[in-house]
Amino acid sequence: MSATPPRSTRRAARGSLPAPAAAASRTSLAALAGAALLAGCASAPSHFYTLSGDAGAVTAGRSLPANPAFLIQVPAVNVPEQVAKNQLVVQRGESRVDVLEEHRWASPPADEIRRALSSALTRRLGTIDVADAPAPPGVPVYRVSVDVQRFESWPGDKAALDAVWSVRSLATQSVMTCRSTLVEKVGSGYDALVAGHRQAVGELAARISAGVRVMAAQPAPPKTSTKGAVPPPGAVRCPSEAEAADAQPAG
């Protein structure tokens, strides 16, 4: 009469894995799960965009003058809080926006706009931005301030930029304050959307450069009035569309 095998032997006979094999199986499952997680992350890479490009590039072979007739200052630009982040914020309707984690600006939009404007203005005006450097004595300096009221991205439709900007003479304190509303039609895709914003910033730079030229052409005010008092600085008119259209890059 044969002996009945022990209970533990019967369990092993039913297909249970030995302890070392079970541990190895758990390790393999964990490795597979980790690989799947990494694969999921790799399937959604981040894309980075910049406004520096056609709007602010210096043409090959063209150099800026070492001693320009006047200088400019382009300080920090203000943008609406809802778009003051690295992620692209796109409109999905009049009251709905999406924040895109996989599509980002290379730097915050305020920095992108300031850098693109500075580059475009120095190129168009043949001058130097001394916002972060001391200006030499005796050279006129014009301070360009920009407050962006609207910076909207409508994928496949338009890129909208609405900005209040001013040009102030640091010597006379005369000031010009203007508003520009720019809407560029765009095609499908985020590259086209960013290109639309770049075009809008370039158009804004053309209008501001025309404003700087108008300011630079103003006659120097008298040091004193007929009564001996210093006259207050006056407001200067904004440039016309024709003047803005003529504000071409310096040759």
- Assess contact for 166 and 175: CB atoms under 8 A: yes
Angle between helices 190-216 and 109-125 (to 10 degrees): 50
Residue 192 has pLDDT above 90, yes or no: yes
- Which CATH number does the domain housing residue 152 bear? 3.40.50.10610
- Assess contact for 214 and 243: CB atoms under 8 A: yes
Is residue 12, in this structure, part of any structural domain at all? no
Q: Round to whole Å and give the CA distance between 151 and 84.
A: 10
Is residue 27, in this structure, part of any structural domain at all? no
Give the model's pLDDT for residue 235: 79
Is residue 155, in this structure, part of any structural domain at all? yes
How many domains does the chain divide into? 1
pLDDT, average across residues 159-187: 97
Is residue 227, in this structure, part of any structural domain at all? no
In this prediction, residue 13 has a pLDDT band, given cuts at 50, 70 and 90, of very low
Q: What sign does the CA torsion over 250, 208, 182, 238 have?
A: negative
Ranked by mean pLDDT, the top range of 3-12, 54-63, 95-104 is 95-104
Choose the weakest-confidence range: 17-26, 121-130, 170-179.
17-26
* pLDDT tens column, 200-241: 999 999 999 999 999 999 887 666 555 655 556 677 889 887
Is residue 103, in this structure, part of any structural domain at all? yes
pTM equals 0.76
By CB neighbour count within 10 A (0-12 exposed, 13-18 middle, 19+ buried), where does 168 fall?
buried
Give the model's pLDDT for residue 21: 56
Is residue 30, in this structure, part of any structural domain at all? no
